[in-house]
Amino acid sequence: MTPARSSAPVVRVAILGCGAVGASLVAHLLSRTDDLAVQSGARIEIAGVAVADLSRTRPDHVPKDLLTDDAASLVVDPSIDIVIELIGGLEPAGRLIRAALESGKPVVTANKELLASPEGIDLRAVAHRRGVDLLYEAAVAGAVPLVRVLRESLTGERIQRVMGIVNGTTNFILTKMSDDGTEYAEVLATAQELGLAERDPTADVEGHDAAAKTAILAGVAMGYDVVTAEVPREGITHIGSVDIEFAARFGYVVKLLAVVERIGADEISARVHPAMVPTSHPLAGVRDAFNAVFIEGEWAGELMLYGQGAGGLPTASAVVGDLIDATRNRLAGTTSLVPERRPARIYPVAELRSAYYLTIDVEDRPGVLGLVSTVFGDHHVSIRSMEQIEQEELIGLARLIFLTHAAREGDMNETIDALAALDAVKRVGSTIRVFGEDTA
């Protein structure tokens, strides 16, 4: 690659945060200055790196003289051209981004939590009003080029559905449970040892992280403003190795799916839940901590994007892509702004249809099966198959495993409540949606 001419304009960037992603970004920018100048048309110079605690030890490549604990002054410094926010969380990230945008500076961020909050929606409005870029490729699925693909390559497409594996931690856990037959708690401990799960794993295993990404996807893919609180979410903590084993026997793998789909003319459903995915589906082959997003367009048909959804370097790579975009736009006096979004009309969860897998432990005596079947029928849920399995620990009990035909979610929930109320039913186990079965 030809080195950039020394006459190339200089673009000064402020980096807020020097953790896993921020420190990787600094390494990236310092090691590739010439390449980035050719690609962006400017020499990108790091003007300052804001951190919370100046006394903390930093990687050797981070120049000490660039560090500051005064992020608020850095973002409004008139000599700064572009702000990159890599602190995470709602505050002070939200305040700092707002200040940068209000002073006319483009912002690049990887902050899904903020972007999927009411404040995030407001920040996009501020970017519009001020005519500056607010770019966030790294916020969903890390290095996987998803936001730009949806916003640019597929901009003329009517996206019908986006289904993704957008949380690496849970995909790692489910993959290991499936490979080794190990239970959730044991695999979680391994993931924590490997640094693939936080000490407090709630955000990942309860689906909060995936819900924020789903809300962002609803905006990028369908043009609707959605916040995390509007995304119904279910995590993976109730999934047992017995469920995964059963799924495998019937040709499925269990995945935590982020789903955004158009329903009718002007409603959407955005949700996160585990699902049994047929092994023939491309998402079934996404293993370990990898992410993938499967997109269904009206004309483009099906396509899938796959890659590393987290980690300092992969995430910093996506941030650099946005930085180059913001730099080019700044030099050209333009922006990558997309049309204003509409508030979403969310389709009621109870009306969604899906086939289900359900396990219950019942008293092992005549007549119980009839009672149980009647409950399904009374709530308009039709049974596709039923199997009884022997479990050594179930003395005097039988475990029944049902696969249903497609049913309304509301009807399925009432069925579960009614089953749980039967004396003969001692335990209602996992309920998992079965993807790909006829939902009509």
Ligand X SMILES: NC(=O)c1ccc[n+]([C@@H]2O[C@H](COP(=O)([O-])OP(=O)(O)OC[C@H]3O[C@@H](n4cnc5c(N)ncnc54)[C@H](OP(=O)(O)O)[C@@H]3O)[C@@H](O)[C@H]2O)c1
Enzyme catalytic residues: 213
* Least separation in angstroms between CB 330 and ligand X: 22
**Which residues between 297 and 326 bind ligand X (CB under 6 A)?**
310-311, 315
Closest Cα to residue 181, out of 256, 242, 236? 242
| C-alpha torsion 425→431→436→437, nearest 10 | 20
Instruction: State the Cα–Cα distance between residues 273 and 234, nearest whole angstrom.
Output: 5
Stretch that binds ligand X, among 10-18, 119-127, 179-187, 232-240 (CB under 6 A): 10-18
Applying CB under 6 A, does 19 fall inside the site for ligand X? yes
**Among all chains, which residue has been given the structure tokens 């029944």?**
400
The H-or-E segment that residue 93 falls in is helix 93-102
Instruction: State the Cα–Cα distance between residues 81 and 427, nearest whole angstrom.
Output: 60
Token pair for residue 266?
Answer: 């002007």
Member of 4, 17, 119, 273 binding ligand X (CB under 6 A): 17
* Least separation in angstroms between CB 239 and ligand X: 24
Stretch that binds ligand X, among 19-27, 196-204, 325-333, 417-425 (CB under 6 A): 19-27
3-state secondary structure 269-324: EEEEEEEEEECCCHHHHCCCCEEEEEEEECCCEEEEEEEECCCHHHHHHHHHHHHH
Member of 30, 52, 229, 349 binding ligand X (CB under 6 A): 52
Token pair for residue 72?
Answer: 């608020």
**Which residues between 85 and 144 bind ligand X (CB under 6 A)?**
86-88, 92, 110-112, 138, 142
Closest Cα to residue 80, out of 88, 89, 90, 70? 70
What values do phi and psi take at 274, rounded to 5?
-70, 150
Q: Which is nearer to ligand X, 235 or 311 (CB)?
A: 311
Token pair for residue 114?
Answer: 């903020």
Instruction: State the Cα–Cα distance between residues 323 and 325, nearest whole angstrom.
Output: 5
Amino acid present at 308 = Q
* Least separation in angstroms between CB 134 and ligand X: 14
Q: Which is nearer to ligand X, 18 or 149 (CB)?
A: 18
Closest Cα to residue 196, out of 309, 317, 89, 289? 289
Member of 29, 51, 260, 270 binding ligand X (CB under 6 A): 51
Token pair for residue 272?
Answer: 């996160």
The mark string for 216-235 relative to ligand X (x by CB under 6 A, - otherwise) is --------------------
Applying CB under 6 A, does 242 fall inside the site for ligand X? no
Stretch that binds ligand X, among 28-36, 47-55, 176-184, 274-282 (CB under 6 A): 47-55
The H-or-E segment that residue 402 falls in is strand 397-404
Member of 36, 37, 62, 71 binding ligand X (CB under 6 A): 71
How many residues belong to the site for ligand X (CB under 6 A)?
A: 25
Applying CB under 6 A, does 50 fall inside the site for ligand X? yes
Applying CB under 6 A, does 194 fall inside the site for ligand X? no
Applying CB under 6 A, does 53 fall inside the site for ligand X? yes
Q: Which is nearer to ligand X, 143 or 352 (CB)?
A: 143
Note the residues at the interface with ligand X (CB under 6 A). 16-22, 50-53, 56, 71, 86-88, 92, 110-112, 138, 142, 310-311, 315
